[in-house]
A and B are shown apart, each in its own frame.
Chain A
């Protein structure tokens, strides 16, 4: 079950630009050092995943949940025990004005 270092010889490489692209998708900014470390660490993890290729999954349905339940809904009514006051909602916000969340600018003139 354990991997051995020989596998690392056939390692799949996530390049620096792969990592930067993924960081962008993830909304993360990374330092040079983090990019280097992630590229090495994740390459070895992804190489380990290669072992899945040996399984035959032809005609096997994917599983996304294990309960077998479908469409569990509650009545479409407001439950006042489940609602929060405006004060509670704003309490943890770092920056707000007139009970509105202040967000960073994403569009430039």
Chain B
């Protein structure tokens, strides 16, 4: 009844439960179990119950048309603590903002609320979204619900775990280099990084502006599709937004980029992707190997462009108008600010920053060419299964390298969806689908087909 938005809405329609029951179901679970996993930094209990009361009233008055006006009625969501929420503390996972109360909300927060969703709380993340493990949060790491000795991935760690642990239906995160797809992969759920420019970032704390995207976590593809539809679109507040829709088609040809399966990618990870390919093939999907040799430069390109943009975006935190002084920045933020200023500084600019923006063009051209031959791409998400807490924390380069298969989509601004598929040694596995800009519908179709080929049903972890 509480697993997906659809089942919850059906139960509401049939008067089996009230919105208050839905809110209370999730809040009871959070209050009981949040301390084990460190998912939520701030809860929004009072407003959640107030809104439940309002919607229960409306449901009684007008049960037939209410879902047209509020398509997300009964949907309980959380936001990564990078989204401004008016009157509700927003920290970015950093001590710099540990008591910051935003005076306005992000556009996407307003949109989702207007559609009837109830925001239950704000989730933990790597500070400023810098990280692939959640361990860079100044509020302590979030733990993987499949095995608490392991990281849940990052940087949208709390958002991914909130869905996997059944603390809410859907959660919102940001993906600058894999921060939605990788934690979704590590937690056994779906994670969508939409096309750059499809979902508004107005009121979302900026990390690297030419790469940042807002996306969604869910435990089934239809919930992801619904929230994406409601959250995307032009709003004149984020100037990078565009309304575009790629044409749907029936016979999808999928590319297998061989560089995504090379040395450095664990056997169990690539085997699982090939197992998925076999299932698709049995159901008349066509596959074709594609060559993307510049993929190997993606990490360097990303870790030059991204810190360059980070150091500029974090320049505004002066501790005067809001927040604490700059000495409250944690180690990773300092590292990226210094690295960004290095690649931009006179004498190094051409060798690093300019070179990276040129190689970025090469990576984009290569992907565009591949999409002339194939409709979508299938690949692993992370080169390995979840790693242990503390395993990479003292080796920044090693941590950066775990982003190798997710950063190309951000560099090119294309969409990517993390699809859960199977468990190995008690930890989750899966694959990602990527497509040309604005090809979300095609990606959803392929994922929906996979759900039906495999009779997918979300199996929550026991923790």
- CB-based contact A67/B303 at 8 Å: no
Contact between A22 and B341, CB atoms less than 8 A apart: yes
Selected contact of A26 from candidates B303, B318, B337, CB within 8 Å: B337
B297 within 8 A of partner (CB)? yes
A74 to B234, CA, bound (A): 12
CB distance from B304 to the nearest CB of A (A): 6
- Contact present for A26 and B364 (CB under 8 Å): no
Does A61 belong to the interface (CB within 8 Å)?
yes
Give the bracket for the number of chain A residues in contact with chain B: 35 or more
B400, A45: Cβ atoms closer than 8 Å: yes
B101 — which chain A residues lie within 8 A by C-beta? 91-92
The interface residues of chain B lying within 8 Å CB-to-CB of A94 are 319-320, 324
Number of A-B contacts (CB under 8 A): 156
Pick from B304, B361, B396, B412: contact of A41, CB under 8 Å: B396
The answer to whether B77 has its CB under 8 Å from any CB of chain A is no
B114 lies within 8 A of chain A by Cβ: no
Task: Bin chain B's interface residue count.
Answer: 35 or more
B34 within 8 A of A: no
Q: How far is the CB of A18 from chain B (nearest CB, A)?
A: 8
Question: For the complex, would chain A's binding face be called helix, strand, loop or mixed by DSSP majority?
Answer: loop
Q: Are A67 and B397 in contact (CB under 8 A)?
A: no
CB of A69 within 8 Å of the partner chain: yes
Interface residues of B in 356-405 (CB under 8 A from A): 356-362, 364, 396-397, 400-401, 404
The answer to whether A48 and B300 have CB atoms under 8 Å apart is: yes
Contact A42 B338 (CB under 8 A): yes
Minimum CB–CB distance for A13 against chain B, Å: 12
Tell me which residues across on chain B come within 8 A of A55, comparing CB atoms: 294, 297, 355, 358-359, 362
Cβ-defined contact, B342 with A49, below 8 A: no
Do the beta carbons of B397 and A41 come within 8 Å of each other?
A: yes
Residues of B within 8 A of A (CB): 100-101, 103-104, 196-197, 210, 236-237, 239-240, 242, 262-264, 294, 296-297, 299-301, 303-304, 311, 315, 318-324, 326-327, 329, 331, 334-335, 337-339, 341-342, 345, 352, 354-362, 364, 396-397, 400-401, 404, 412-413, 437
Beyond known contacts A55-B362, A57-B359, A92-B323: 12 more, CB 8 A cutoff:
A1-B264, A3-B397, A28-B337, A60-B359, A60-B362, A66-B197, A69-B242, A73-B239, A74-B236, A82-B237, A92-B322, A94-B320
